[in-house]
Structure formats: structure tokens, C-alpha cells
């Protein structure tokens, strides 16, 4: 399945440098896209602290961050090590793809590597996966399967472009619809979290200073973004209030039901959320809607399947789950805490691309006649 394009180490250098440059652009995508900012305006990179344009000699991939010791050359503000990590990881992935895959597949897999890096860091920081990137990736994956039919096949075996395209389409469907079923079952099983408080605790809805940021529901020490509460139209936040303040005025307490954009007060009246200036009180209990897994993961696994077919889907899901479990145990992350799954799916797919398919082939060979039946 893997075929090195050249044994000469010289070709690794331009692949590494190209990856580092792409990684520099991915930093712009990672910073701007989840904040609703354009990745093209301004065209030049800017400091996230002072907003000053970064001159060319301060924007050299890998080099500038090290020479400036992780600080902005204009204001001296600290620049996250994430910028260096993204550039280095992308450069290494581009080099590995060039070293292990035939030239016909390399451009497509470079696109995949860039998308996986961007999605990993966006999901890790913001707990969201921009589906516009996964749709682009799925289309690129299907094109890759048509150009190199061996990509979605198990250790080769497909020579016709129609076979490759069919295998890629089956992989996309397996990843997208398969995980969709898991998400729906998870919603049924774990779609609500109920807490009781004795004594009652303060709660409020907080508007962010930046209009691009979501509303937040704050209860006790918990701060939950609005888009994490209301991912579906049918989601409801139910609060049993001991005290209730609407626009700063005390009203009769009781059961308050909050939807994405409206509120049902204890007396049965309805108010649009946009018409309220404040909503707060003290809660005796609360029922919080939640998702077992974000729907962005569904799109991501579909994209992975479009590249690697249904075997790559199952391997990536299994490997990603094991990696996530190991991370949760090592990090001592408690149950109920959000853990972005996208980065682990991305790592699982890279494990498949860089040799995991051999384990799958070995497993099927071990099954022997049982697999053939």
C-alpha cells in the first residue's frame, strides 16, 4: 500500500519546509475561524495581543518563534507555544507522507494532514469542529480514492478508479452514519444531567463582552457556553428556582424552562431571550441538556472514511477511543467533564495511514476462513 517516491533524502527537505509554511497558515486558521474572523482579511498575520501586523522577518516558520523566544516583536506579548507546535507537527507530517506514499497520492494526503492539524487544535481549544473543513476534506478524500484506488482498499487490491471512488463513498457513509447512530444513542442515554442543591445556589445568564462569543449559563462554579447547552432545537434547560429575577425584578419563583432563544416563566408566560436584559436567581435543582459526543465528530469520521474506506473508519474509531481513554486516565479527568474527541479521531486516522492498516490486514489473515465466510 505504501510506496516511497524516492530514497534520496534531499526530497525530504522541501517537504519539511512546505509543511512548516502550511503550518504557519494553519495557525491563522486555528486562531480566526472559530472566532468568526476572516482568514484572508487582514492578509498578513497579526499579533493576537496588540493587533500589529507581523513583518516578514518575524514570521519565518519555526525560526522566528525560537529567535523571539515566544514573544511579539512589537509589544513583547507572549505567543503561545501552540504556534511552534502546529508548524513543527505539520512539517513532520508532510515529510512522513512524502516518504511513505507514492507521488500521485501525496497532494491529497497533504491536504488531509493540514485539515487534521487544524481541526485537532480548534477542537482542543474551543470544543468545536468546523464542518466546512470536514466537507472540503470529504470531497478531497473521494478525489484521492478515484486518483489512487488503493488508498481506501485494504492493503491494496483495487485498480479501477470506480472501485476506489465506491470504496471511499462507502467509507464516508460508514463513518458519518455509523457515528451518527452512536451520537443519537448517547443522547438518549446521557442527554440530561440533573443536580440538586441544598442550600440553593446562585445562577445567572451572562452576556459576553465580545459579541462573537456565546451567552453563558453560570451556576455555582460551572460556566457553560450556550452552544454547549442547546445543540438541538428540542433541548431544554430546566431550573427549579427558589428566587427568580427577570430584568432585575423579583417574580414568583418556580420552574423556569429555557430554550435556545426563549424563556417560559413559572406563571406560564413566554419571553424572547433577546428582549431580556438579565435573568438570574437561586436554584434548588437544575436539569442541563448535554451531548455524549459532538456532531462535529460525525463529520470528521465521515471525512476519514472518505480517504481510508470503512476499515479505516473502524480502526480510527477504535484507536481514537483507546487514546482518549488513556488520556482521560492519565489526566485524571473526572466523569462528566468535556473531553474533545476530535483530536483522538485524528490521531487514530494517522495511526491507520502510517501502518495501522498492517495490523488490520494481519487480524483478517489471522481469522482466515472465518473472515472469508
355: three-class secondary structure by DSSP: helix
Confidence of residue 244 (pLDDT cuts 50, 70, 90): very high
**Shared-domain flag, residues 127 and 61:** no
| DSSP code, position 263 | E
**Shared-domain flag, residues 301 and 362:** yes
Burial tier of 315 (Cβ tally within 10 Å: 0-12, 13-18, 19+): buried
Q: Which of 100, 125, 150 finishes a domain?
A: 100
Q: Do you find a cis peptide bond into 199, omega within 30 degrees of 0?
A: yes
pLDDT tens-digit readout, 196-230 = 998 999 999 988 877 667 889 999 888 888 877 88
**Shared-domain flag, residues 33 and 16:** yes
**Shared-domain flag, residues 236 and 180:** no
| DSSP code, position 195 | E
Q: What is the mean pLDDT of residues 335-364?
A: 81
275: three-class secondary structure by DSSP: helix
Q: Do you find a cis peptide bond into 204, omega within 30 degrees of 0?
A: no
**Shared-domain flag, residues 175 and 321:** yes
**Residue 296 CA to its chain's centroid (Å):** 7
d(CA 326, CA 339): 12
Q: Please give the residue range of the domain that contains residue 366.
A: 105-190+296-373
Burial tier of 266 (Cβ tally within 10 Å: 0-12, 13-18, 19+): middle
Burial tier of 35 (Cβ tally within 10 Å: 0-12, 13-18, 19+): exposed
| DSSP code, position 353 | I
What domain count does the chain have? 3
**Shared-domain flag, residues 263 and 223:** yes
**Shared-domain flag, residues 134 and 63:** no
- Strand pairing report for 255-258 and 262-264: antiparallel
| DSSP code, position 78 | B
**Shared-domain flag, residues 30 and 76:** yes
Q: Which of 239, 259, 289 finishes a domain?
A: 289
**Shared-domain flag, residues 246 and 174:** no
pLDDT tens-digit readout, 82-111 = 999 999 999 999 999 999 999 999 999 999
Indicate yes or no: pTM above 0.95: no
Identify the top-confidence range among 233-237, 272-276, 306-310: 306-310
**Shared-domain flag, residues 178 and 308:** yes
DSSP string, 256-300: EEE-SSEEE-TTS-EEEGGG-S-EEEEEEEEEEE--SS-HHHHHH
Question: First-to-last CA distance in the chain?
Answer: 25
pLDDT tens-digit readout, 125-177 = 888 899 999 999 999 999 999 999 989 865 455 678 899 999 999 999 999 99
**Shared-domain flag, residues 302 and 185:** yes
d(CA 103, CA 117): 21
Q: Which of 100, 116, 137 finishes a domain?
A: 100
- Contact at 8 Å (CB) between 294 and 127? yes
Sequence-distant contacts of 215-224: CB under 8 A, at least 24 apart:
217/288, 219/283, 219/286, 224/288
Amino acid at each position: 500500500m505504501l510506496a516511497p517516491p524516492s530514497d534520496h533524502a534531499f526530497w525530504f527537505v522541501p517537504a519539511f519546509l512546505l509543511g512548516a509554511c502550511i503550518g504557519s497558515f494553519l495557525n491563522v486558521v486555528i486562531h480566526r475561524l472559530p472566532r468568526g474572523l476572516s482568514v484572508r482579511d487582514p492578509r498578513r498575520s497579526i499579533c493576537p495581543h496588540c493587533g500589529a501586523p507581523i513583518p516578514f522577518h518575524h514570521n519565518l516558520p519555526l525560526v522566528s518563534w525560537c529567535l523571539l523566544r515566544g514573544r511579539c516583536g512589537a509589544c513583547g506579548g507572549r505567543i503561545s507555544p501552540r504556534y511552534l507546535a502546529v508548524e513543527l507537527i505539520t512539517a513532520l507530517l508532510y515529510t512522513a507522507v512524502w516518504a511513505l506514499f507514492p507521488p500521485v497520492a501525496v497532494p491529497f494526503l497533504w491536504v488531509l494532514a493540514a485539515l487534521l492539524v487544524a481541526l485537532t487544535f480548534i477542537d482542543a481549544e474551543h470544543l468545536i469542529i468546523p464542518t466546512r473543513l470536514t466537507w472540503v476534506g470529504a470531497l478531497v478524500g473521494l478525489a484521492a480514492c478515484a486518483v489512487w484506488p488503493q488508498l481506501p482498499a485494504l492493503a491494496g487490491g483495487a485498480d479501477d478508479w470506480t472501485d476506489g471512488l465506491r470504496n471511499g463513498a462507502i467509507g464516508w457513509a460508514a463513518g458519518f452514519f455509523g457515528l451518527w447512530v452512536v451520537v443519537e444513542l448517547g443522547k438518549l442515554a446521557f442527554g440530561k444531567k440533573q443536580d440538586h442543591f441544598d442550600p440553593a445556589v446562585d445562577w445567572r445568564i451572562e452576556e459576553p463582552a465580545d459579541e462573537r462569543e456565546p451567552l453563558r449559563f453560570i451556576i455555582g462554579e460551572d460556566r457553560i457556553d450556550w452552544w454547549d447547552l442547546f445543540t438541538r432545537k428540542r433541548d431544554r434547560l430546566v431550573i427549579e428556582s427558589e428566587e427568580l429575577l427577570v430584568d432585575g425584578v423579583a417574580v414568583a419563583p418556580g420552574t423556569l424552562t429555557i430554550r435556545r432563544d426563549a424563556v417560559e416563566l413559572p406563571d406560564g408566560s413566554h419571553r424572547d431571550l433577546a428582549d431580556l436584559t438579565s435573568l438570574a436567581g437561586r436554584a434548588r435543582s437544575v436539569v442541563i441538556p448535554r451531548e455524549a459526543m459532538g456532531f462535529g465528530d460525525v463529520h470528521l469520521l465521515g471525512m476519514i472514511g472518505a480517504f481510508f474506506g470503512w476499515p479505516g473508519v473502524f480502526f480510527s474509531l477504535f484507536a481514537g477511543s483507546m487514546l482518549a481513554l488513556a488520556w482521560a486516565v492519565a489526566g485524571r479527568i473526572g466523569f462528566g467533564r468535556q473531553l474533545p474527541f476530535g483530536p483522538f479521531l485524528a490521531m487514530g486516522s494517522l495511526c491507520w495511514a502510517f501502518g495501522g492498516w498492517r495490523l488490520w490486514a494481519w487480524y483478517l489473515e489471522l481469522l482466515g476462513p472465518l473472515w472469508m465466510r
